[in-house]
């Protein structure tokens, strides 16, 4: 993920990056599976937290 210029993503941007549907991404945010910050009505996903999540998932997958 090459998102150095961005510090946060919208749910739609996150869905595109993860190749998920927008509804599935909203549900994952709601369940706490994707780290997010709510500011008013906006839901933002910190890029650093998303990258950590993906790195941890990759390490866990490698341990199987």
Number of domains making up the chain: 1
Is 19 a member of any domain?
yes
Is 1 a member of any domain?
no
Is 2 a member of any domain?
no
Q: Taking residues 19-48, what's their average pLDDT?
A: 96
Compare 5 and 12 and report the one with higher pLDDT. Answer: 12
Is 46 a member of any domain?
yes
pLDDT at site 35: 96
Phi first, then psi: what are they for 32, rounded to 5°? 85, 10
What pTM value is reported for the model? Answer: 0.81
Q: Note down the domain range covering 18.
A: 8-62
CATH number at residue 12: 1.10.10
Give the contacts of 1 (CB within 8 A, at least 6 positions apart): 17, 47, 50, 51, 54
């Amino acid at each position: 993920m090459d998102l150095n210029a961005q510090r946060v993503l919208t749910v739609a941007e996150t869905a595109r990056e993860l190749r998920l549907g927008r509804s599935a991404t909203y549900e994952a945010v709601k369940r706490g599976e994707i780290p997010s910050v709510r500011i008013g009505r906006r839901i933002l996903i910190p890029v650093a937290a998303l990258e950590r999540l993906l790195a941890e998932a990759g390490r866990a997958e490698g341990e199987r």
